[in-house]
Structure 1
C-alpha cells in the first residue's frame, strides 16, 4: 500500500527535510556567506530526524494509528525547528550573525504542510476502514 497519496506526501516531506537543506541556505551572515543546516549540528540532526520519521511513517501503512502518531511527532519536531529559527532571527542583536534570511528557514513550514496533508489522508483511510468494519 505504498502507492497511497499519504505516502507521496510523506515522501515529499522526506525530500524537503533531507535533500533541500543542502540546496537552500538558512541565512546569509554579515559577510554575505550562506549558512546551511549542516553548519549547525543540532539543526542538521533535527532535519535528518524529521526526514527519518517521515520515511519510517511511509512504511507503517499496516498500522495507521502509529503512522498518524509519527506524523504528529514529526509536526512537533518541525515546529521546534521553526521556533529555533524564529528565536535566532529575533534574539540576536542587530546584524551580527543573521544578516539576510534564506528560504531554508521556511523549509519546516513546507514540511509541516505536507505532513498535515498526509495525516488527513491517513485519518480518512482509518475512517473508511472503521465504516466497513461496522457493516460486518
Structure 2
C-alpha cells in the first residue's frame, strides 16, 4: 500500500514544509529585511511537527484509520502555523509597511491542500476495502 497516491501527496506535503524551513523567509519588509524569521521556536517547532507527522503517516500505510487521524492532526498543525504567520504579520510594531509577504505564508495552505487530497485517497481506499469485505 505504500505505492498509493496518498503517499505521493504526503511526500509533497513534507517537501513543501521542508522548503518552508530551508529556503523561504516568512515575511519580508520593504527594504528586504526578514521581519518574521523561520528560526523562531514556535514556528520552527510547528514546521518540524508537520514534517514529522507527514513522515509518520507515510510509514503507517498499513493502518489507514491511523493514517487518516495523523493527517488530520497535521492539517490542524498547519492551520496553527498559518494562524501564527497571520498574527505576527498583523501585530508588527510601529508603522511598518509589509510590501512582500513572501511565499512562506502560502506554503502551509498548499500543504493543507495536499493533506486533504491524501485524506480523500485514504478514504477511497478504505471504502474499497469495505466494499470487498461485504462481498465475502
Q: Does the alignment reach a TM-score above 0.5?
A: yes
**Cα deviation, residue 19, structure 1:** 3.0
**CA-to-partner distance for each residue in 1:41-86, whole Å, 9 max, x for gaps?**
2101110110110011011111100000000000000000111111
**Cα deviation, residue 32, structure 1:** 2.1
Contiguous gaps of at least 5 residues in structure 2: none
Task: Give the match for residue 64 of structure 2.
Answer: 64
Contiguous gaps of at least 5 residues in structure 1: none
Q: Distance in 1 between matches of 2:18 and 2:80?
A: 17
**Cα deviation, residue 36, structure 1:** 4.1
Alignment of 1:1-136 (within 5 A): 1-29=1-29, 31-34=31-34, 36-38=37-39, 40-93=40-93, 94-95=95-96, 100-136=100-136
Q: Distance in 2 between matches of 1:20 and 1:88?
A: 16
Q: Distance in 2 between matches of 1:67 and 1:28?
A: 36
CA contact (8 A) 2:27 2:89 kept: no
SS at match of 2:44: helix
Q: Distance in 1 between matches of 2:32 and 2:46?
A: 25
> Please, which moves more after superposition, 83-92 or 106-115?
83-92
* Residues 79, 72 of structure 1: alpha-carbon distance in 2 compared, 3 angstrom cutoff: same
**Cα deviation, residue 3, structure 1:** 1.0
**Cα deviation, residue 90, structure 1:** 1.6
**Superposed structure 1 runs of 4+ greater than 3 Å apart:** none
**Cα deviation, residue 92, structure 1:** 2.4
